[in-house]
Structure 1
Amino acid sequence: MKKIVLLSFLFITFWSYGQKKVLSAQLTSQSISIDGKLDEAAWENAPIASNFIMFEPDNGKPIPENKRTEIKVLYNNDAIYVGAMMYDDEPTKILKEISQRDNFGTADLFGVFINGFNDGQQNFEFFVTASDVQGDCIMTDANGEDYSWDAVWSSKAVLTDKGWTVEIKIPYAALRFPGANKQTWGINFFREIKRERRKYTWNLIDTKIGTFTQQNGDLIGIENIKPPTRLFFMPYASYYLNAADGQKTFATLKGGMDIKYGINDAFTLDAILIPDFGQTKYDDQILNLGPFEQQFNENRAFFTEGTDLFNKGNMFYSRRIGGRPSVEPDLNDNEEIIEEVQNVNLINALKVSGRTKNGLGIGILNAVTEKTFATIKDTIADQTRRVVVEPLTNYNVLVLDQRFRKNSSVTLINTSVIRNGHFRDANVTGLAWDLNTKANTYNLSGNVKYSMINAEENKNGVYTTLSFAETSGNYRYSVGSDFVSKDFDPNDLGINFFTNYYNFYGNANYRILNPTKLFNRFRINYDTYAEFNKESGKVQALDIEVNVNLTTVKNNYFGMGFIFHPSITYDYYEPRAENRYVNIPRKLESWASLSTNYNKKFAIDLNPSITFTDEEGRLAYAFDIGPRYRFNDKLLLNYSFSFSRKNNNKGYIDKFDDDNDANTPKQIVFANRNVITYSNTLAGKYAINSAMTINLAVRQYWSYAENKQMLELQQNGTLTPYDLYTKNKNSSFYSWNTDLSYSWWFAPGSQLSVLYRNNASNFERIIDKDFKNNITGLLNNDALKHIFSISVKYFIDYNAVKNKIRNRA
């Protein structure tokens, strides 16, 4: 009899986990105070979502009774309200580090995931920690969680003697859903018990299936809502005080406004009327010895928030907008640039994005930058002239993304750059697809892109890629191939380094889906990659990689890998000339990674690597070490030191062009050099409370390349000694950045920021190997700039203002 009862229980449990759960939201006319107490009468009779199931590490295991979680949802015409009770039998052990927004630190976490179209492809995720810190993101299976998206919503977390509670108000303006009388949304609830490193969800997310967003439950009961007009104004004012050693101090006052308007329930217009990016994080510049530009992260909020549609097909690199000028001025003899432009000013920008009830996503982004000049001086005649280095320019991105069957999509993307006058214009069009079987076991994805450049010499190019993968189970694999023509060029509004090749690649991997006695997670990967020059057929890359990544039962992470390059390959990019290449010897790379449990006050990250080649004396090695210490729930310090050394590295130095054809140089000069890099970073956080934080970020960087012998590149890709070249082409670059900031979210969507910043950088041909001299020399010379700024941004809801005026009348 006991066996029958047990089997019946297991069957019912398994059956219930395999079903999509349903929760009904309850209409309320009562005013809900977001205080975390859940003491309004409306909460008492609302249906309860419970019976959470473990997501990680032991997928499918029910939550213990002493950690049970109960969720209720209310709604009215303005918003939905979520009330959550997280029970804990040891409430004094709840971890509650206070951090800044979108950085959860070492704290227990509650989240609600909402998909207004219930199409299984995109979640709007809202999180609150046990220390009352907010976080939000947009989640897609293709791109993961994008925390650059920030919504305006309210929440409050409160610790109790039974655990902790959360109360959340999410205005409809923060969501996207169809304009139907009866709504059925995809929804899931998330809880992480940080001290145990266990994550739970209300509706089971089966890790055997390679998808996250398609495993939501259903939220029903929201009917006949009449959302108010979605119109928001975000005026701001900024004050900047700039100073540099030996230069005059000057102050600047700026002001402007951003606007967000809900065209309808699904589409939103965002516009910058007067841009101000003065408090944007500095770029971490490096000594770039390679043939390609350094790629930087986007730190401007307008170009990071809600841009998942625009990132389809990897055709949009937003740093092109307001980046460096596109034109290099021609200099006559005895001329030099005395005012070089680093960035072009943005005049305005707007974007419209959203999705119809039939799953068609539409995204339009447009930006205009101003006409920009550089000043050039004739050093003999002592005269100056101004030259256009960037004309008035319009940037545009158009995306049409059709979702279907809740797990697949086809996307059409177009990017366009139009420059006023006779300057270069560009247009790139792409078609991308992401197709999954009904059971989400197999995936077919790829794209076709076509670029057209209208300049002095027009050129068109093609990029195609196709891949197939098994995406479920313990064993998974993928195969694919790319083809890129020689003249494919998306770089006016995108970024692409490698052209004129085709490749083949494959991956096979094994992972555990539930913990073992030794590991919470374990995965082993095998990767192969082969790349060939399209015209010559020579091998540009040939890699075989094996790597292992695991997390122990004590939540310490370890990874290691080997990459074997079994044959000589041919680099067509380093020589900086058409149809020329340099031979790259066979090599073996090895790396390891250790990260101890961040739950502990002290933790450390360690990442060593080494590369051997079959060329005598050519060796590279590096390591990063990063200790961190959490003094208490408010104070955290991170330090990181990085070092790398490349012995007998071979790299491009110079070339002498043929008088008749610059594309076929007479000589290409390389150098046998040692490249050494040091980097120190210090990051600190002190949280006054969940709305106020003080943050410190310091970065010191120094890298130099010391040439030992000059070499001439031969037609067969080999390098021979070239003693006739006597120019000093050593390189030494060092930089310093300090950011000390205070941030206060004084109201939903409203922020006060105070920032002190200093920075300096310098490039030299003379290498001073005294580390102290380089640092002190950089900090004590005229290059060190100081900036103090205060910025206030205030969020104004048109409906709130209208209601206040109406009530006063």
Structure 2
Amino acid sequence: MTKLRDLLGFASAADRAAAFLIAFMLIMVVAEMQAQNVQAVRKSVGAERLTTSIQIDGSLEDDAWQTIRSTQGFQELSPQPGTQPQFDTEVRFAFDDAALYIGARMQDDSPDSILHQLSERDRMANTDEFGIWFSTFDDGLNAVRFSTTPDGVQVDEQLSPENNDQSWDAVWDVACQIDSLGWTAEFRIPWMAFRFPDEAEQTWGMNMYRTLRRSREESVWNPMDPTQKLLNQGGILRGISNIDPPLRLSLFPYVSAYGVSANGEISSSYNGGMDLKVGLGNAFTLDMTLIPDFGQVVTDALVLNLSPFELRFDENRQFFKEGTDIFNKTGTFYSRRMGEEGRLLNATKISGRTGSGTGLGLLQSIATAEEDTSLVSYTVAVVDQNLPNNGYVTTSGTMVVREGEGYDAWVQAAKFELRNRNNTWSVTGNGSINQKFNAAPSDDDEGHSYGIGIQKISGNFTFDAGHYLESEAYDPNDLGFLTAPNEIASFATFNYRMYEPRGRFNRLRAFISVDHNQIETPRTFNNWGLEVGGRATTRNFNTWNLSINSQPTTGNDIFSSRIDGLVWKEPGWYSIDSWFSSDYRKTFAMDVGGWYGGGDTYRDWKERTLRLAPRIRISDQAMLTYVWKIIERDNERGWLMVDSLGGNDLKSVWGSRDNIERTQVLNLTYIFSNRMSLSARVRHSWSQVRYDRFYTLSASGILENIDMSAPPGNLQHGAYDVNYNAWSIDMVYRWIFAPGSEINVVWKNQLQQDNVGIPLPSNYRENFSNMIDSGFVNSLSIRAVMFIDYSRFKQGLKGFQG
């Protein structure tokens, strides 16, 4: 029993208590899952087959619309759930063998008061909105969403339990008009935008929503409980039957040209390639990119990293952002790894879902290694099965194979969620193992992790409790991302949310969270933490947030020393965090935030943050946002280096330092139309680190002062001070000249500067002057992408020949 207890990580009394609590709640949930429940009646609407064509112009005057029955009866979701919205919304559905058509009338007694700020595609500004999501397998888990504004701005995304993928861009048409009755929207969504069962009669889960921005009112077609999840509260779309969609084959050829100026030299390059999408039946799609070009992606938000852990950056490459939710479900895939070791040559993904609810995915790419021309192969394979009551079970495998002498790596993972009939409780679990082949003898080549949790997922009161373990040798980082393994943790979070207006508030939330952490090998207490907080949104839609966080006791940090087996006794600390966000409907809005932290062990070590973020809506076409943030860490204790300091043994050398980080981000956008925009982002991160005292980390985990009157080794004041700059300008002109086809012109201005051991500049002007002297890298590029739909191309060719 002791061995089993140790294997599962329940060595301490606190963990055994947490395990008992989780087991007790699991029994409650299983019992709850057996209970019978009468599900709420779902609204339904039928789509009707067209006998005449529809012109997508935003007008609903076509003869075809006049004979199609409409559905209405929307219900308010926010701020007054369950009440009648201010204005009616009326929607019709039609289809033919090429596409699904939607005609929507949003009534409004004051059409001149409709808010309709223009924005780029996939970005919603200060505007009214009408949208609809479709769960084509009606599984309550996966869906695609399409929405628009009175100006015809297009927004689409894939929805899943893990995240919403707004990078997914389908090719579809929409047109809108504002008239004396309100505004209208007319959609044409080709079947190639959907994946659906291979059945004669389609039954899709579906819901529609409308936002009346001037009153911040949100309403939905199928009634929703705001305390529950989104996708399990849809209605039903019926009537789509006997469709014979054309072959789903589309090509996206591109050409690009680059000019780069750096260090007084100018260079140029030209590229060409193609993306390919092929429908494999109605439910699966193959995506391929040949000779990819990612030179126009937005610059990473670089910062000075003094921690022992790798920084995680967002994926900005479109191919790896779009439609990859199934590959990320087990949490062992980090797409930035693909091509990280060198140049990416190609990538292919196949994904879809069968009629029985089985999702399948395969993602494979080839890249060259950074140090030579050898190849590296990356592969991700996923099987995802829908379960009753919107549950699922997923298994995935990742594999990295390196040509030549490099080692290979493999990770196998599984994850599940079980829900009761009411969708009020869930049980979750996950596990993974990793193995390295041909690795160095000093490397542990096998590791594992697991986790289990229990959640109450609906109602005003919710909670999440769980336990997980990551072994010392667990390392999924060849194709995944994990900052720190060798951990055992138990946690619980309790939330109370008020969704209906009460007194001065529209929404309220309060929470308390506690966690207990251990080192897995050797089994040692690490730390425990407590956080309490709350958030309130007032009747005038200003939001306030406050949280207090604490690690009350001294912890054991095994990573910061950078020497195996040497532990730092991390001091206990506390912090308070608060922010305010004003109503974004106003021409001028402001976000303000502050953070303050400290501890008892080192009373002179204090940290504070201030963030100011004004937003100015210059017009319905122009928008400016600015972020100014400063983080000050006074007398911070931090690792400096591993050095013998003139002796025989290596020591972990630390310092007391003043660490100041300043970040500014300016975003300016001008929207010419719903298909053309000009945007600019200017970002500057400036950090200064000044050391004034030095220490060695003792075997007992305590920092021992170094006498600098006779400095050991080469240790000296000023030699390790850091001045770091990360500067970038990303200016983008985008013109969508046809559905799926666009031209992008991008100017980039970049600099990364990391100076150590030189006098620190005394002010911003001096620092910027030094940046100019070191030189910036400028690049100007143009990229044109053309969308070619095989079915339309074939029809056009027949017409030309005829």
State the TM-score, normalizing by the size of structure 2: 0.92
Deviations 1:62-84 (A, max 9, x none): 223xx100000000001100000
2:768 matched residue in structure 1: 775
Deviations 1:187-235 (A, max 9, x none): 11110011111111100121232x1101111111111001110000001
1:37 matched residue in structure 2: 59
Cα deviation for residue 406 of structure 1 reads: 4.5
1:385 matched residue in structure 2: none
8 Å contact kept, 1:113–1:124: yes
Could you list the runs of 5+ residues in structure 1 that have no partner in the other structure? Answer: 1-15, 326-343, 374-387
2:800 matched residue in structure 1: 808
Question: CA separation in 1, counterparts of 2:142 and 2:418?
Answer: 15
Aligned partner (choices 514, 539, 543) of residue 500 of structure 2: 514
Cα deviation for residue 659 of structure 1 reads: 13
Aligned partner (choices 287, 290, 313) of residue 296 of structure 1: 313
2:227 matched residue in structure 1: 208
State the AA in 1 paired with 2:691: N
Alignment of 1:644-655 (within 5 A): 644-655=631-642
Aligned partner (choices 193, 198, 213) of residue 194 of structure 1: 213
State the AA in 2 paired with 1:774: N
Find out whether 1:118 has 2:116 as its counterpart: no
Question: CA separation in 1, counterparts of 2:231 and 2:649?
Answer: 54
Question: CA separation in 1, counterparts of 2:426 and 2:153?
Answer: 37
Cα deviation for residue 539 of structure 1 reads: 2.8
Aligned partner (choices 340, 346, 365) of residue 363 of structure 2: 365
Find out whether 1:579 has 2:565 as its counterpart: yes
Could you list the runs of 5+ residues in structure 2 that have no partner in the other structure? Answer: 1-37
Cα deviation for residue 515 of structure 1 reads: 1.4
Secondary structure of the residue that 1:249 maps to in structure 2? strand
Question: CA separation in 1, counterparts of 2:736 and 2:148?
Answer: 15
Question: CA separation in 2, counterparts of 1:55 and 1:138?
Answer: 22
Cα deviation for residue 658 of structure 1 reads: 12
State the AA in 2 paired with 1:75: F
8 Å contact kept, 2:389–2:420: no
Alignment of 1:268-667 (within 5 A): 268-323=285-340, 325=341, 344-373=342-371, 388=372, 391-454=374-437, 455-457=439-441, 459-614=445-600, 615-656=602-643, 666-667=650-651
Question: CA separation in 1, counterparts of 2:449 and 2:682?
Answer: 40
Find out whether 1:755 has 2:749 as its counterpart: no
Aligned partner (choices 108, 126, 139) of residue 106 of structure 1: 126
Find out whether 1:796 has 2:779 as its counterpart: no
Aligned partner (choices 95, 103, 113) of residue 93 of structure 1: 113
Question: CA separation in 2, counterparts of 1:658 and 1:605?
Answer: 48
State the AA in 2 paired with 1:801: F
8 Å contact kept, 1:57–1:520: yes
State the AA in 2 paired with 1:469: Q
Of residues 720-729 and 603-612 in structure 1, the stretch that sits farther from structure 2 once superposed is 720-729
Question: CA separation in 1, counterparts of 2:159 and 2:369?
Answer: 38
Cα deviation for residue 536 of structure 1 reads: 4.0
Question: CA separation in 1, counterparts of 2:288 and 2:134?
Answer: 25
8 Å contact kept, 1:150–1:305: yes
8 Å contact kept, 2:163–2:325: no
Deviations 1:89-137 (A, max 9, x none): 1111111000001111101000011111111111100010122110101
Question: CA separation in 2, counterparts of 1:157 and 1:610?
Answer: 48
2:668 matched residue in structure 1: 684
Query: CA RMSD, aligned part only?
Result: 1.7
Secondary structure of the residue that 2:325 maps to in structure 1? coil
State the AA in 2 paired with 1:418: V
Cα deviation for residue 616 of structure 1 reads: 1.9
8 Å contact kept, 1:539–1:570: yes
8 Å contact kept, 1:121–1:406: no
8 Å contact kept, 1:91–1:163: yes
Question: CA separation in 2, counterparts of 1:197 and 1:715?
Answer: 59
State the AA in 2 paired with 1:139: L
Question: CA separation in 1, counterparts of 2:403 and 2:252?
Answer: 31
Find out whether 1:258 has 2:258 as its counterpart: no
Secondary structure of the residue that 2:584 maps to in structure 1? coil
State the AA in 2 paired with 1:601: T
State the AA in 2 paired with 1:676: I
Cα deviation for residue 537 of structure 1 reads: 3.8
State the AA in 2 paired with 1:24: G
Deviations 1:144-180 (A, max 9, x none): 4221111110001111111100000111111111010
Identity in percent = 32
Cα deviation for residue 729 of structure 1 reads: 2.0
1:787 matched residue in structure 2: 779
Secondary structure of the residue that 2:126 maps to in structure 1? coil
State the AA in 1 paired with 2:683: R
8 Å contact kept, 1:17–1:203: no
Question: CA separation in 1, counterparts of 2:752 and 2:765?
Answer: 15
Question: CA separation in 1, counterparts of 2:121 and 2:761?
Answer: 42
Secondary structure of the residue that 1:790 maps to in structure 2? strand
Cα deviation for residue 657 of structure 1 reads: 6.9
Question: CA separation in 1, counterparts of 2:360 and 2:41?
Answer: 33
Question: CA separation in 2, counterparts of 1:230 and 1:272?
Answer: 17
8 Å contact kept, 2:471–2:521: no
2:93 matched residue in structure 1: 73
2:27 matched residue in structure 1: none
Of residues 773-782 and 556-565 in structure 1, the stretch that sits farther from structure 2 once superposed is 773-782
Cα deviation for residue 18 of structure 1 reads: 4.3
8 Å contact kept, 1:17–1:204: no
Question: CA separation in 2, counterparts of 1:18 and 1:431?
Answer: 32
Note closer, same or farther for the CA distance 1:17–1:437 as it changes in structure 2 (3 Å cut): closer
Secondary structure of the residue that 2:51 maps to in structure 1? coil
Find out whether 1:130 has 2:146 as its counterpart: no
Aligned partner (choices 244, 260, 275) of residue 242 of structure 1: 260
2:10 matched residue in structure 1: none
Question: CA separation in 2, counterparts of 1:297 and 1:559?
Answer: 26
Aligned partner (choices 691, 707, 721) of residue 705 of structure 2: 721
Cα deviation for residue 294 of structure 1 reads: 1.3
Find out whether 1:20 has 2:42 as its counterpart: yes
Secondary structure of the residue that 1:183 maps to in structure 2? coil
8 Å contact kept, 2:53–2:64: no
Secondary structure of the residue that 1:302 maps to in structure 2? helix
Question: CA separation in 2, counterparts of 1:734 and 1:363?
Answer: 41
8 Å contact kept, 1:367–1:395: yes
Deviations 1:670-727 (A, max 9, x none): 1111100111111001111111111010011101211111100001110011242515
Question: CA separation in 2, counterparts of 1:573 and 1:90?
Answer: 62
Question: CA separation in 2, counterparts of 1:715 and 1:687?
Answer: 61
8 Å contact kept, 1:577–1:665: no
1:155 matched residue in structure 2: 174
Question: CA separation in 2, counterparts of 1:22 and 1:595?
Answer: 39
Cα deviation for residue 541 of structure 1 reads: 2.6
8 Å contact kept, 1:655–1:665: no
Secondary structure of the residue that 1:653 maps to in structure 2? strand
State the AA in 2 paired with 1:770: N
Deviations 1:38-80 (A, max 9, x none): 111111121211000112222211223xx10000000000110
Alignment of 1:695-706 (within 5 A): 695-706=679-690
8 Å contact kept, 1:568–1:585: yes
State the AA in 1 paired with 2:99: A
State the AA in 1 paired with 2:679: N
